[in-house]
Amino acid sequence: MKSILKNKLNLFLFFLLTINILYIKNISYFKLEILKNSFNKDWIPVYSIYRHEVIESKYLLDKNRIKKFNLSKKIIGPGSSYCCKSTEAVEESDKYTFFRIITYNYPSKFDLKSKYFLFYKNEETSKECEKIDEGKYLKLLKC
Amino acid sequence: MLNQIKKGSKIEIVVSILSLLILLNYFVMFISYNSYIIKTIFSVYILTILFFLIYKPLNFFHLKITLIALMVIVLGNPTYAWDAWAIWLFHAKRILLEQSIIAQLDEYALWSHNDYPVIAPAFATSFATLIGGWNNIFPKFAFLLMFFPPLILTIKIFNVRYNLLFLIFALFILNLQLVSGLVDGLVAIYFTFSSYLIYEIFISKQNSFYNLFIAFCFFIILSLLKNEGIVMIIILFLILGAINISKEKILQNYKKIVFLLFSIVPIITWKIICINYNVKNIIINSSIFNFNFFINNIVDYNSIGLIFKFFILDTKFILSIIFILVAFKLTKNKNNFYFSLSIGIAYLFSLVIIFLIVPYDLAWTLETTASRVIMSITLLFTFFGLLQIYKKKSL
């Protein structure tokens, strides 16, 4: 500390370092609310996940104790399971919701053979499917 | 007893312990997931850091303040970066919940690059084990903790003023990589300091046991961070070979080189396990082994032009080149300059080759990765430029 305070050039460099740290803080998405809840295991990461559907998917699956789930074609999006090989593919496929649901809901696993489907609420579904639960953005069906 | 040890040695000991604990954590998990041992290792890591922060003779106030500030920023930031949640933290979550370091080596979520090495996710898992649960925020903190060994090592390398300068440059270059839950910043810093240690051991002839040991640990960590790390390690070994050939003493320092060669055993083991589980790298498409595909892509001048356009448009990269050239002009330190330049150029060349053979749309690949991968060379040039000036001033 003394070696910094004694020398004007060092003090100036320390000032620059502080500016640098503040700059990182400002360009990041730092929020005091996140800091307060950083170790709260039950806190819903509303700032990390920007699609409400993803957060709601966990609520629906946990509430109904479903360990293996399937997703509607609209949620999965067009193209392969990989994302993506070009800018157009990224825009077209919108894999964010699909991938985020998989990572956020783990250890509940996405399984193409599962009978439990998550659909967008406004999606048309087959009459053979039985509605189990629904939220604001998604509905859970057994097909 | 502590008072009798020199300050430089104390720093080397702290860095050695921290590096060793990162590796120990990984190897313990590799053998079996024993939560008591994992918690103990991580607790010792935290205590060693606390010792560094509190112990007065290691009086680098600005570094300690910087690290504490970064810890707060990390914990106050959401996990929004794609690779952070889709790859690194997802792998960490899988290790934690399956209680196995090879949890990702199944057919599930292939898009999350299941072949990637897991030293960083394993460290995040240990932190989660210590805390006793999982959320989206705090596991990123473990990635920041992995920055500590190389950053603490800078206290031994520079005096206060140059350490301040280095930190300013490092924060400017690494920026959000320090807090976003990505490992590219870690790759950049371990690459830079592995290169520095090689320079000290084989060119400056600093025959310190700790230098060699820390280099060995850094090599293992670097190779287990990301696939780029493997390329970097190969480059460093090739440079070592080139140094020996240029001096016409091929067997010079062979014991040290052989010792360092053992550092590639863990990554080879990981890759063999991946092959056994039939987990392939989804970027390295089998078509790259097709001779015509390879030749057609390599001689595609438009693509090469596009790659260099992306590199040249990276302001920090250009500034680092100017900085190292100015430093060389001022100091005329040929050893330092040519050593860092050869490593930088070799890595740049390998990046160009990789960009040319990836089976994805090149413009998109460059948009999403160029600034992240070039960061390693930017930090390398900046560090070695600063080192040249510091050594000249301190003569």
| pLDDT one-digit tens code per residue, B143-180 | 999 999 999 999 999 999 999 999 999 999 999 999 99
Please state, in angstroms and rounded to a whole number, the distance separating the CA atoms of residues A136 and B282: 36
Nearest Cα residue to B320 out of B373, B235, B384, B232: B384
**Is B117:B29 a contact under the CB 8 Å cutoff?**
no
Helix (H) or strand (E) holding A134: strand A130-134
Do A87 and B78 count as a contact with CB atoms less than 8 A apart?
Answer: no
Interstrand relation of A138-142 and A130-134 (parallel, antiparallel or unpaired): antiparallel
pLDDT for res B283: 63
Q: What's the ipTM?
A: 0.91
> Which distant-in-sequence residues (6+ apart) come within 8 Å of B220 by Cβ?
B23, B263, B266, B267
Do B111 and A107 count as a contact with CB atoms less than 8 A apart?
Answer: no
> Which tokens sit at B46?
């935290």
Residue of B61, B86, B135 with shortest CB distance to A103: B86
> Which distant-in-sequence residues (6+ apart) come within 8 Å of B43 by Cβ?
B130
**Looking at residues B252-277, what average pLDDT do you find?**
94
| Residues in B touching A29 (Cβ below 8 Å) | 77-78, 80
For the range A81-86, what are the long-range contacts, defined as Cβ-Cβ under 8 Å and sequence gap of 24 or more? A81/B110, A81/B111, A82/B110, A82/B111, A82/B282, A83/B111, A84/B364, A85/B359, A85/B360, A85/B361, A85/B364, A86/B360, A86/B361, A86/B363, A86/B364
| Residues in A touching B78 (Cβ below 8 Å) | 29, 31, 34, 45, 47-48
Q: Higher confidence at residue A56 or residue B359?
A: A56
**pLDDT tens-digit series, residues B73-130:** 999 999 999 999 999 999 999 999 999 999 999 989 888 999 999 999 999 999 999 9
Read off the pTM. Answer: 0.94
For residue B242, the number of C-alpha atoms closer than 13 Å in the C-beta half-sphere is 12
Interface test with A, best of B62, B74, B141, B365 (most A CBs within 10 A): B62
| Residues in B touching A3 (Cβ below 8 Å) | 59, 160
| Residues in B touching A38 (Cβ below 8 Å) | 75-76, 135, 137-138, 141
Please state, in angstroms and rounded to a whole number, the distance separating the CA atoms of residues B10 and B245: 35
Gyration radius from chain B CA atoms: 21
> Which tokens sit at B367?
């948009």
pLDDT-derived band of residue B6, with 50, 70 and 90 as boundaries? confident
| Residue indicated by tokens 């051991």 | B201
The sheet with strand A138-142 has its strands ordered as A109-110, A68-71, A116-120, A138-142, A130-134
**pLDDT tens-digit series, residues B287-330:** 566 667 767 777 778 888 899 889 888 999 999 999 999 999 99
**Is B117:B273 a contact under the CB 8 Å cutoff?**
no
Beta pairing partners, A131: A141
